[in-house]
Every structure is written in C-alpha cells, then in structure tokens.
A and B are shown apart, each in its own frame.
Chain A
Amino acid sequence: MFGLNNDSCAIDIPDTYHTQGEYTKGIARWCPGCGDHSVLHAVQRLCAEKQLAPEKTVFVSGIGCSSRFPHYMNTYGFHGLHGRAFPVAEGVKFRRPDLDVFVVTGDGDCCSIGAGHWLHAIRYNMNLTVLLFDNAIYGMTKKQTSPTSPMGTISNTHPEGSVLPPVNPIQTTLGVSNVSFVAQTVDWVPSHLYATIKAAYEHQGFSFVKISMRCPKFMAEFSKKKVSERDSVQLLMHENGIQPDDATERMFTHHQPHDPTDINAARALAEDVEKTYLGLFYQNKNALRYDLYGAHNLGYSTEQKMAAIEKKLEAFAV
C-alpha cells in the first residue's frame, strides 16, 4: 500500500483502502435537483471516511423514491416492501452485530404505511442508522398528499389542498419511550448534512435523522421556499451536539443553545413548528439496546446446543 512496507512503518497501514468511488454503483435515477443525490453523496463519503467494509455494510429500504438508495451503494442492500424496512433491518441486525446496518426510508414509507413499525423500532433501540428522507410528498406515485405535507398542499388526492395538519416526525420520535438519538438536517447544506449523518452513525443505538428534502418535480415552490427562508432556521448549538462548520454558521445566523440530554427542552423545540431547528435534538447514550440482547447468546457449538435440547427432552421422556 502506497509503496510502504507494513513492517517498517510506524503508523498503522490498513490492508485494504476503500476510496469513495468504491461505494458507488450505477447511476442514480432520481430527478435532477432531487435532494436524494446529496444524501447519497454524503453517505458514500461517510463510508469512505469510516472505511466501512462493503461486505459488512447493509442498506435496508422500503418503497418510494428514497428507497431506491441501496441500488446505488456498492454494499449489501435490501430493497423490500413499502413501510417494512424497519422489521427487516432489525432482523438483519439481531444476530449479526458485526454488520453496519442503515435504514433509508421516506415520509410515506416511515410515517404512513410503516408508522407502526417506526414506533416500535424507536423503542427497540437497535444500533441502526436511520435516514428519513422527508420531501413532504409522494413522488414515486406522482404527487399525492404525504402525512408530512403541510396543510393546504395541492396534490392529486387533494386538488383543493390537503385538509389535515401534518405528522411531526421529530415530535413523534421524541415521544416514544427508549428514544436515543434524534437529529434534523437538510439536504441542501452538505456540510451540516454530513456532520449529522456522521454523528448518527457514531451513536450506538437507533439514530433517527430527519432530512428535509427538496422535491423540485412535485413540490417546487415549497422546496424553493424552504431553501430561501434562512431566517426561520435555528441552528442547535451545544458542545455535545452537532458542530456546524463556519460556513453553516454564517448561512444561518440564528443560533439556539440546546443541551441534547434535555428531553423536555427537545420536545418543546420539536413542537415549535414556526421554526426549523437543525442539529441534535436529543441523545441518550445509555438507552437499553435490543440488539445487544439479540447477540447475547451467539456462537454456541453444536455440542452445546444438542446438550440443551437433550436436557429439555428429558422433561418429555416417559
């Protein structure tokens, strides 16, 4: 590697080095200007920075625009059913602590058809990195109202405007017991997006990142408004939070000090729908983890297993 001799070098040289390009596969078929492209890039960058072994990395998704994601990662992938990414990812992780598992889901996938699984996935708190691509519209099926569409959104199912207040994914996630990591970022600020996904990956538990996404095809005005209204954005600032770079701090001049260990403060911020808070809402590094339970009795030998079965059979012998 690099012409260096492993034996004579003072620094640790890895046997293999993965470039960012090694994590890419095919050509992403999302629309031009879609936010999904920037998340894909950020995730590939993370994989390279963390030198994740492609064979030990699994991206699990549901159905929707965002759920095409695994097809563009040169790792293992599971592009399953609409709304069902969580149970599959949990099953993958349960007995395979050696795998890095990511969940890629959308606002329809997670907050509507898969909402039941979402709540329980938060409670299970398995070590999964969860990226919620929230563009507030159904894109793949061509512009129907999403559970996160702002009230009044004109769509093909509500041509006069949607009639219900939207689901607030941050608020919902923070309301579930055993929640351990909740953050929000946007697809159009690459450095903040990357810092947030990195912090989520580093968190040992169910790290939930809501990524506000642009959909130039079906939510063009809404996307433009989101990007341009910098004044409504508040950066969450704390030494234990996500550290924005100088450019991000200059872009968003409103800064909100917030201790991410304070769940009540986090919930209060989540309920404030007038503003968009970017950064780490909440983190609890000590929340109970179901994946540790799943892996606690791994690797028993055939002899051990047979002995346990024989012992149990004894109770049924006559």
Chain B
Amino acid sequence: MVYEIPMAEECLKFVPDPKKGKNMWVLGMLSYIYSRDLKTAEDQIASIFKKKSQAVIDSNLQLLNAGHEWAAENLDFQFEIPAMPTGKELVVMNGNEAFAFGTLAAGIEVCSMYPITPATSVSHMLAETFEKAGGLVHQAEDEIAAIGFAIGSSYSGKTALTVTSGPGLALKTEFIGLAIMAEVPLLIIDVQRGGPSTGMPTKIEQGDLLAVLYGAAGDAPKIVMAPSTIEECFQFVIVARQIAEAFRTPVFLLSDSNLATGVQPFERPKLKAEWMSAPIDQSPWNEDTKPYQWDEETGLSKRPIPGMKGGEYTLTGLTHTASGQVSYLPEVNQRSTAMRSRKIAAFSRTLKPPKVHGDEEGDLLLIGWGSTRGAIEEATDRARELGGKVSSVHLRFLSPLEPGLKDIFKRFKKVMTVEINYSDDVNAPLITEENRRYSQLAWILRARTLVDIDCFSNVHGQPLKPRNILERIKLELGN
C-alpha cells in the first residue's frame, strides 16, 4: 500500500518555500499517525525559536497543525504505541553528552580542547556544568596546544581530558608520544569522522583505529577503549581515568559520529563518591623512591606531583633512567621501553574474554567494535531466526585486546569483522590475496591470532544497517 502525500502543495499554503516548512508539517502528520499529543511539539517549537520572532513561532505552529489535520482527514490508519513499561528512572542523551557526564562523574576538572566536528559538543555540555561542579573548559589556540595544556594540567595534579577528531588527532601525535614516554596520565576522546584529511566531518567512520594504535614515532604502546552504547560512553570515562592513573599513561576512548549524535535512554546513573578523583596528593615524597621506579613485574611506578616535597624531578621526553636522568645508554633505552610495554601486558591481565552473542560455536562469527554493536547483534539474531549458525563478538578493548579471542575464533568455520572503514573488495581489479588491504580491526586480529579473518566494511559515511549485514551473512552461509 502506497500513500501519496502532497507535502509540497500543502506547505505552499503557508510558506513560500516548502523546503523550509516540510519538517514541521511532517512532524504534525507523524504526531497524528502515532497518536502523539501536539502539546509537547508546540512547547518545543516555542522554546527552540524563542530567540527568533513571534512570526517564526506562529508559522511553525501553523505547519505542525496543518500536517496533523491533513493526516486526520486523509489517512485511514493510526497507531497507538504504548511506552515501554519501566520501573527504572531513565535519562536520555547522546554520546557526547554522556562523555561529558562521565567526565564530571569522574571528577575531572579540566577539558582542554580546540573546536572540531563532531567532538566539540562534549565541551559545550561541560562548559555549561563545570562552573558549579568545580572545573573549566580551556579552548586552546590549536589542537597541539589543547593536548599540551591538558598534559601540563595532568602533570601538576589532576588527570585532564582532551577531545578531538581525526585531523586533531594527527596534530596531537607528538604530544601523545610525550605523554607515553614521560608516563603522564591523560584522557583522549577521539570522536571519529570520515577521513583521511578533512574527509567527511559530519559522517560516521571507524577509520582512526590504526592511527591511534600506531600513529606515533618509536614504540608507544597505548590503552584504547571503544564504547558501544551511549551508556558506555558515560561509564568508560570513569573507568578510563582510573586506568590512566593506575597505569600512568594516556587512555584513548574511540567514539564516532553515530554515538556522538545518536540518542538512547539508559538507567539514570547513581553517582558514587569513589568515582571522583581524589584531591591532589601533596604529602612528602619518600626520597628513596625514584620518579620512575618501575616494578619489574608490572612496569608500574609512582608519580611525584609538584608540591610533593622531596619528589623534585625533571620530566623529559628524552630517554631516561628510573631516576629521570637523561641517558642514551643501550640498556637504559631497552629497559625503559620494555617497562612501558610491560604496563600494557600487566593491564591486559586484568581483562576478561569477551562474551559471545549467540552460540559459542558455529559457521560464522562476526566481530565488531564501537557504535555498530546494535546493528551487528540485530543482524545476528535475524540470521539465527532463519536457522543460520551465526554469532557475534563486540570488542570494548582494542589495545590491549581482550584475552581468549583465538580460542573463540577457533570454534567457528569463518570469522569476519564488520566495520565502517575501508577494505579492498576481493573482486576488485588488481586485488589478490597478497595485496588486499583489510579493514582496520581485521588487520590487528589477523596479526594477533594468525587466523584467516575476513572483513565486511565500507566507507559510505552511513551507519551500518542490520539488513545489509544480514545480506552479507546469507552470502557467507551460501544461501
């Protein structure tokens, strides 16, 4: 059944250009179809356009009502969808707002940033709230200064946050290397967009994974997490601050424009005092303890903070000994590099294997990360309803990887990542098994597990649809 809706003509009755009125008219129509009270929409219109003229408000209200009336007169169907019953208190927000709430709940007091789409709105939300929550947004003169300022702030006491997207990440690279080399805790949120270069600022892509993992000179091992829901955007900041401080290193949170602008409800978080960072430690430093007294087992060391008497040292990006002295001796560089790497190994020992969505074995395993979880799991469920032996795994930790992946992969005939970044089509001209470029997580998993992992990916700049994933699943299963 197809209904033709004369949207343009109907809008022309009220506005000279239907392009500037259709949205409100459609909102009115949909409100009728789904039996929604117009009052909420009317209040929102009045609130959103309150800074404009009354004429603008009136015109929008007119269109809203006209859409509603047209639907009532011309459509022979209407639905009533009751709200999902919930005994829980919920909040509704987008991923960037959730990052901001996570930042506040973690007790972080400084967000140093430079405006970049689609990451900037994290700082808007923080700027609105920090005044009374005891913190500040520093809008730096550029991306490099933004992270330098954050590192200075972390060095002098409280772990700071910087937020950015692909082009900004590229500019921050040298400072990221310094934070790793000098072991300064820091939070870096990268809300990914289409790339390379300026790319597609408002479109979705998961294209920064390899840049985050490997985009620094020398050996600079990193801790990288990727929230898959908006609630996780909130939770991961709190966890990431604790990891950054315990492991004395920057922690990356990889998000994307889908999470940044998508809106989901989740249970209203019950704030806990222990989530908050402690006051800056100003107790005297034990002078027998060196500023980088690496524990041989874990690579961990305690960090002196300015104000701690007896802890005076000079942080440097040059190769340094446990005492913080510059040294280019072969054994010093070998050991300090090994100690920074050992921290990552120590951290990986705290992780659990990921849960498999679906059966623990089968014909096909899909692997995803970040915002695509919903789409992948929905496609997996639909394929299973059709009898396919399909399961999926969603990774939250991309570096170090969660343990046990190879054991899971071995139980499936075929393993395939599903990602929003580029990979060569196997059937494209010139592409062979030898020169095919895989999607980014697939590269890492292939190298890490020596399993012949395939990938399904594109760079359309659009969220992945369960339908498209299902089509590919069917293709893989041979039906």
User: Interface on A for B, CB 8 Å cutoff?
Assistant: 53-56, 58-60, 70-71, 73-81, 84, 86-96, 98-99, 116-117, 119-120, 293-294, 297-300, 302, 304-306, 308-313, 316-318
Is B314 a contact partner of A81 (Cβ separation < 8 A)?
Answer: no
Q: Give the Cβ gap from B32 to chain A, nearest Cβ, in Å.
A: 23
Surface stretch bound by A, among B150-158, B365-373, B379-387, B390-398: B150-158
Is B110 a contact partner of A297 (Cβ separation < 8 A)?
Answer: no
Surface stretch bound by A, among B5-13, B73-81, B91-99, B400-408: B91-99
Is A80 a contact partner of B314 (Cβ separation < 8 A)?
Answer: no
Q: Which of A86, A293, A298 contacts B134 (CB 8 A)?
A: A298
- Can you spell out 25 A-B residue pairs with CB atoms less than 8 angstroms apart? A55-B306, A55-B311, A56-B306, A70-B314, A71-B314, A76-B306, A77-B315, A78-B315, A79-B316, A80-B178, A80-B317, A88-B148, A91-B148, A91-B156, A94-B136, A94-B138, A94-B152, A95-B136, A95-B157, A96-B156, A116-B141, A120-B145, A305-B133, A306-B271, A316-B93
Q: Which of B91, B97, B135, B271 contacts A297 (CB 8 A)?
A: B135
Q: Give the Cβ gap from B109 to chain A, nearest Cβ, in Å.
A: 6
A90→B164 CA distance, assembly (Å): 20
Residue pairs across A and B with CB atoms within 8 Å: the count is: 189
Q: Which of B128, B150, B309 contacts A312 (CB 8 A)?
A: B128
**B313: interface (CB < 8 Å):** yes
With a cutoff of 8 Å between Cβ atoms, the chain A residues found around residue B178 in the complex are: 80-81
**B422: interface (CB < 8 Å):** no
**B353: interface (CB < 8 Å):** no
**B46: interface (CB < 8 Å):** no
A307 to chain B: closest residue by CB: B132
**B174: interface (CB < 8 Å):** yes
A98→B269 CA distance, assembly (Å): 35
Q: A79-B317, A294-B138 are in contact. List 18 more A-B contacts (CB 8 A).
A: A54-B312, A55-B312, A59-B314, A78-B152, A81-B175, A86-B148, A87-B140, A87-B145, A87-B149, A88-B149, A88-B155, A94-B149, A95-B109, A300-B133, A305-B107, A309-B101, A317-B90, A318-B92
Contact indicator per residue, chain B 235-258, by CB within 8 Å of chain A (1) or not (0)? 000000000000000000000000
Within 247-285 of B, Cβ neighbours of A (below 8 Å) are at: 265, 268-269, 271, 273, 276
A87→B142 CA distance, assembly (Å): 10
Is A305 a contact partner of B104 (Cβ separation < 8 A)?
Answer: yes
**B160: interface (CB < 8 Å):** yes
**B356: interface (CB < 8 Å):** no
With a cutoff of 8 Å between Cβ atoms, the chain B residues found around residue A309 in the complex are: 101, 104-105, 129, 133, 271
B309 to chain A: closest residue by CB: A55
A135→B30 CA distance, assembly (Å): 72
A300 to chain B: closest residue by CB: B134
A55→B157 CA distance, assembly (Å): 13
Q: Which of A79, A300, A310, A318 contacts B271 (CB 8 A)?
A: A310
**B131: interface (CB < 8 Å):** yes
With a cutoff of 8 Å between Cβ atoms, the chain B residues found around residue A73 in the complex are: 314
With a cutoff of 8 Å between Cβ atoms, the chain B residues found around residue A311 in the complex are: 132
Q: Which of B149, B268, B326 contacts A91 (CB 8 A)?
A: B149
A308→B104 CA distance, assembly (Å): 9
A308→B131 CA distance, assembly (Å): 9
Is A74 a contact partner of B152 (Cβ separation < 8 A)?
Answer: no
**B144: interface (CB < 8 Å):** yes
Within 82-129 of B, Cβ neighbours of A (below 8 Å) are at: 89-93, 97, 101, 104-105, 107, 109-110, 112, 128-129
Is A98 a contact partner of B307 (Cβ separation < 8 A)?
Answer: yes
Is A305 a contact partner of B312 (Cβ separation < 8 A)?
Answer: no
Is A308 a contact partner of B156 (Cβ separation < 8 A)?
Answer: no
Is A95 a contact partner of B310 (Cβ separation < 8 A)?
Answer: no
Is B265 a contact partner of A318 (Cβ separation < 8 A)?
Answer: yes
Q: Give the Cβ gap from A314 to chain B, nearest Cβ, in Å.
A: 9
A56 to chain B: closest residue by CB: B307
Within 270-307 of B, Cβ neighbours of A (below 8 Å) are at: 271, 273, 276, 304, 306-307
**B447: interface (CB < 8 Å):** no
B132 to chain A: closest residue by CB: A308
Closest 3 CB pairs of A and B: A91-B152, A300-B134, A77-B314
With a cutoff of 8 Å between Cβ atoms, the chain A residues found around residue B318 in the complex are: 79
A91-B112, A95-B109, A317-B89 known; A305-B153 Cβ under 8 A: no
With a cutoff of 8 Å between Cβ atoms, the chain B residues found around residue A116 in the complex are: 141-142, 145
With a cutoff of 8 Å between Cβ atoms, the chain B residues found around residue A93 in the complex are: 152, 156
Q: Give the Cβ gap from A259 to chain B, nearest Cβ, in Å.
A: 32
**B338: interface (CB < 8 Å):** no
Is B148 a contact partner of A87 (Cβ separation < 8 A)?
Answer: yes
A90 to chain B: closest residue by CB: B149
